[in-house]
Structures are given as C-alpha cells and as structure tokens.
Amino acid sequence: MEDNAVKRAAEIIAGGKLVIALTGAGISVESGIPAFRGAQGLWEKYDPMEVAHIESFRRNPQKVWQMLSELYQIVLNAKPNPAHVALARLEQMGKLTAIITQNVDALHQKAGSKRVIEFHGSGESLTCLKCGKDYSIDDVDLKQIPPTCSCGGILKPDIVFFGEPIPPYALEESFALAQKADVVIVAGTSAQVYPAAQIPYTAKQRGARIVEVNLEPTPLTGSVTDVFCQGKAGQILPAIVEEVERLIQT
C-alpha cells in the first residue's frame, strides 16, 4: 500500500462536496465471499451462462439452485470486513452520500451504511415465479432445492440474472448521482460489467475525480482514474478514511 496514494485519495475525498462509492465483488472477498471473475472466481468453477442466466433458471431451476445454495451458505455466514466498515464510517462523517454496489450480500447495510443502492438486486429477498409472493431469506428452507412457495411455485432470489434488466430505480438513481458527484470511490470492481461500469465514466465526463482501490489495474486505471491505490480494500479504505477524518478535523 502506497502512503502517497492514500494521502492523495484522502485529500480528494475530504475536499469533495458530493462523494459516492461504486463497489463490486472484490470488496467482499475479505469477508470470505468468492469473487465472480479472476483466478479464484466463481465463474472458474461454474459457467455463468448455465447457472446465472434467467433462461437457465427457468429451464433448470434445480441446477441453478445447487450453485445458489452453495453461495448462500457462504454469504449468510459472512460478516462485514474493515472495507465495509470504513465506508459506513465515511457516511457517518458526512463525507459519503451513497454507495452503489454490484454486490447482493447486504454487507454494506450490515456494516451500518444507510444509503445503499443495490444495482444488481439483493439476495436477502426472494419472489415466487408463479404467484409473485415475496419472501425474506430467513423464511426460506435452503435445504430444499429448489425452494418453493406455499403455492408450489419456485422461488427466485431478487438478484439480477444475466438476461434481466437492472431495477429501474437503481439505474436512475445511480446515474443521477453519477452526474452530480464530484468524487467517485471505485472499490473492488473489475469495471467490466455494464451498465455499472459506465458510472465512473459518466461522472468523469461531468468533471468528477476518480479514486480507485483495487488489487489489480482495471480498464478505469489508465483512462479515468485520478488516484490508484493498489491493494486490499480492507487495508486501504480504513487508511484513507482515517486520513480523511484527520484532514476534516484540522
């Protein structure tokens, strides 16, 4: 972790009037949740078109639920890590307006963040594909594959599968914020999945500064990123937030 980059990132955030964060799977890896892409990614183990496309779900829900059941066992036992906690602290300090997350694990909310836009939906709730009844994950028997509604219909998590649209509210709210933000913190995302990956570019076109925290460079790094902090989000974000706190108190 480069101290210089952390200090520059903190200065940009401390000086920002409307700061937003865009987070991806990488921010939850330190909570024990596997990323989707990369060497240890979920898509190395499963073909996303077979287990994460809405048509695959409709065609063979049992097969898709075998993957989902495995993922739920991990996600439901996961705890927020220092990266989630740092962003929640930044919001409490009045320096972070909203988090736009591609994650469906609710760890930002569990860490204390209040304004979280779930761009790809949430795994905390499910809907019956037959009658439309809503369920909380706490009320679903995940040992039954696939889990079913009282009407006999199959339950689908309220997450956005490939082939499904982004929830309209999340899309509109995210891009409205991107057009107004003067700082965007990008953390733990490969910036390869659109339309979420467009958010930093939209903000940059409006003059925003981009602070990127990632293990490896991304398509953003050489194009729109102003400060690149390379390393684990769980180490870098707390260091940045500590420095922001120091700057706004002096």
* String of DSSP letters for 138-187: GGS-TTSSS-B-TTSPBEEEEE--BTSPPPHHHHHHHHHHHHH-SEEEEE
Out of 53, 84, 108, 120, pick the active-site residue: 120
CA 38 to each of CA 25, 29, 44, 132, 229: distance values in angstroms, whole numbers, following the listed order: 11, 12, 8, 35, 19
CA distance 204 to 1: 25
Given a contact cutoff of 8 angstroms between Cβ atoms, the answer to whether 124 and 98 are in contact is no
Catalytic residue at 53? Answer: no
* Cis ω before 195 (30° cut-off from 0): yes
Nearest to 196 by CA among 232, 227, 167: 167
User: Catalytic site residues?
Assistant: 120
